[in-house]
Amino acid sequence: MKYLFAWVAPALVVIAHANPLNLMPLPAQYTLGTGSLSIKQTFRVVITSYTEPRLVAAGERANSILSRQTGIPKTLSESGPILTISCAHAAEAVQKFGEDESYRLTVDERGARLDAKNPLGVLRGLETLLQLIEAGPQGFSAPAITINDHPRFPWRGLHIDVARHWMPVEVIERNLDGMAAVKLNVLHWHLTDDEGFRIESKLFPKLQGMGSDGQFYTQEQVREIVAYARDRGIRVVPEFDIPGHATSWLVGYPEFAAAPGPYQIERRFGVFDPTFDPTKETVYQFLDKFIGEMTALFPDEFFHIGGDEVTGKQWRQNPDIQSFMRQQGFQDNAALQAYFNRRVQAMVAAHGKRMQGWDEILNPNLPKDTLIQSWRGTKALAESARLGYQGILSAGYYLDLIQPASKHYLIDPLGNEADSLSGDEKKRVLGGEACMWSEYVGPETVDSRIWPRTAAIAERFWSPADVRDVNSMYARLEVVSRSLDWRGLTHRSDYSKMLNRLADGGRVEPLQVLADIVEPVKNYKRGRGAGIVRPTQQTPLNRLVDAARCESLQAMEFARLVDDGDRKRIREWLMRWRNNDALLQPVLAKSFLLTEVIPLSQALRQVAETGLEALDMIESNKSPTAGWLARQQAVLDEAKKPRAEVQLMIVAPVEKLIGGLEHPQPEVPKRVTRAK
């Protein structure tokens, strides 16, 4: 207890960064002026030149956000600072890919002025203005500045899988608000997969009727979301994954499958065999009607047909399909899928849309207006561009891999693979999409996997290519993350709620001390391994691994302290972690949800003890013995193993601390007694 009272919570140090502005994404160009605009009230918005209801609503929404993030009441005061918006002309009736999003924002001591050609530029500029407002000793203000801004890539998306886990309307809407805040402009809505068919079809009601457990969007809700997105300058591209990943379609319509049913909604996660039969004309008749119904609902120019991970097993085992392939001279399943894609593409085009698919669909017999989404690596993107197809990158932006923001941030759609492309080929690379697959996220946790990391990806897509300073990114990411709280995103607030549920009335502080320095296992290690029961769609997502953040800022901070040799603060942290186990064990004993955490907490104590011993040696100029080093290494190796499907993120810095010790002293030889 002594340590507990003596200990002062080490505050997170704000990382020194090169850029003085907390903007994310950073604008293409800006010049700081002198002075600032004081913000004591919400803005008086004046729209000159072209206007439309969307712009009026955007001005009001900006004031609401301002009010929420500052606490200043939203009033109709006549004395607030003036925000003049000047927009040259209307946008396309249906937001088009590649529409102008540029804007010019000027702030001085008298007010703010936002100029754009297109309402989309106004929407982007308003977000920048909101990000400029910060508290200072004199109150809230925005610095005097002139910003000329435009995006680097026209396609800046977030893909959300609502099939593995259902995401109700409010989840989508709050994430659209988050997307708008960081200037993303495409919601790629993964609406169907083996585990669920999530949209109402009036023509084929057994799709959602039997394939969704009643968890689907009505057509009215879809219209609402599309309108909500448009208000924020975001296009909505729906994905209907065919011919594989199709179990949920086939529950109600087994006659379209390549093998006899019956089928049931898949509860497990993975790649499964149920596949459409590409040889049946009835399949194309069905798909044509269905695509017609859906293209009427989704105004966007693009229509995503999935096309990934077709196992082909049902095709190989079906004699009729095999004989069809022989007749057509198809050598393999890829050729059969290419035939299927070609037919689907013709229908998509007949309904006035451009087809998009995952990189498996890449095949030179598809028309050149097909859009390729690269997920298996950057090679496919370069290959598509060389073959004359436009493409977007998702490889490197898979949020479900639980990688740090820095890793995603440094991956560029025009990165290494694109070096060999010609100028025209490079232009075919339109941007990218962060992908949120939902095997291990539900409505409660999805925000914490999307945010704040997606803001870093958004900067990659918007800002100039040479904006790559990771320290600056992390400093600004924290600011943006806090501001997203005020947009209704739950990536921060759910952490505390979930820890409280785990503690079940016990003390939550020691649980948080532990939770703050763990991260979920990465790279699809979740749900795998000895003794782990493979989770399904029905497995609750209420464990420590679900509450844990993707990236432990405290562990990062500790690693920095070790690098800097700040022994005083290293000791503070290590003592706290060493003492935490005794405080936490009674809490862990209270709830079955925390039983798995018992050994994790013990491992943390052991790592901290090791670190403290190392620190003592450093401070007393002692060198470790080889025996001591071997024992400590064994402790650290043990602590590196995931427990409760999370990793202790402070093991590596403690290892570094030990690595910094002087070379070991030779052991004093033990007397060897042979005689017995």
Q: Which long-range contacts (CB under 8 A, 24 or more apart) does 613-617 make?
A: 614/654, 614/657, 614/658, 614/661, 615/567, 615/570, 615/571, 615/574, 615/657, 617/661
For the bound state, the minimum distance from the C-beta of residue 344 to ligand ACM, rounded and expressed in Å, comes to: 17
Specify the residue, 358 or 389, whose C-beta has the smaller distance to ligand ACM: 358
**Segments of 70-224 assigned E as strands:** 82-87, 103-107, 111-116, 134-136, 139-149, 155-161, 186-193, 196-197
Return the residue of 288, 309, 478, 485 that touches ligand ACM, per CB under 6 A: 309
For ligand ACM, give the closer residue by CB, 438 or 512: 438
CA atoms lying within 13 Å on the CB side of residue 110:
2
197 vs 375, beta carbon nearer ligand ACM: 375
- For the CB of residue 166, give the shortest distance to ligand ACM in the complex, in Å: 19
Which amino acid belongs to residue 617? M
Residue facing ligand ACM at closest CB distance? 308
> DSSP for 533-597?
PPP-TTS---SHHHHS-SS-HHHHHHHHHHHHT-HHHHHHHHHHHHHHHHHHHHHHTT-GGGGGG
CB of 629 to ligand ACM, least distance (A): 43
Please say which residue, 308 or 516, places its beta carbon nearer to ligand ACM. Answer: 308
Q: How far is the CB of 120 from ligand ACM (least distance, A)?
A: 28
Site for ligand ACM contains 358 (CB under 6 A): yes
Q: Among residues 308 and 509, whose Cβ is nearest to ligand ACM? A: 308
Least Å distance between CB 307 and ligand ACM? 9
- Radius of gyration for the chain, computed over Cα atoms and rounded to the nearest angstrom: 28
- 309 as an active site residue: the answer is yes
Closest CB 529 distance from ligand ACM, rounded Å: 22
Nearer to ligand ACM, 358 or 628 (CB): 358
The one among 308, 478, 596, 638 contacting ligand ACM by CB under 6 A: 308
Long-range contacts, stretch 199-207, CB < 8 angstroms, 24+ apart: 199/238, 199/294, 201/290, 201/293, 201/294, 202/293, 203/289, 203/290, 203/293, 204/252, 204/253, 204/286, 204/289, 204/290, 206/251, 206/252, 206/253, 207/248, 207/249, 207/252, 207/253, 207/290
Q: Decide if residue 577 touches ligand ACM (CB under 6 A).
A: no
Minimum distance, C-beta of residue 261 to ligand ACM, in the bound complex (Å): 24
Kindly state the smallest distance separating residue 393's Cβ from ligand ACM, in Å: 12
The count of chain residues that interact with ligand ACM, using the rule CB under 6 A, is 4
Widest Cα–Cα separation across the chain: 102
- How many other β-carbons are positioned within 10 Å of the β-carbon of residue 320? 11
CB closer to ligand ACM out of 373 and 483: 373
Q: Residue holding tokens 């620190």?
A: 615
Binding mask 614-653 for ligand ACM (x = CB under 6 A): ----------------------------------------
User: From the list 166, 189, 286, 375, which residue makes contact with ligand ACM (rule: CB under 6 A)?
Assistant: 375
Which residue in 99, 134, 309, 609 is the catalytic one?
309
When the beta carbons of 324 and 358 are compared against ligand ACM, the nearer one is 358
- Is 440 a binding residue for ligand ACM by CB under 6 A? The answer is no
Per-residue DSSP letters for 269-319? -S-----B-TT-HHHHHHHHHHHHHHHHH--SSEEE--------HHHHH-H
Pick out residues in 227-266 that bind ligand ACM (CB under 6 A).
Answer: none
Question: Which residues have a Cβ under 8 Å from the Cβ of 5 and sit 6 or more positions away?
Answer: none
Whose structure tokens read 């800002």? 463
- DSSP class of residue 670? P
Which residues of the shown chain bind ligand ACM in the complex (CB under 6 A)?
A: 308-309, 358, 375
Which amino acids are annotated catalytic? 309
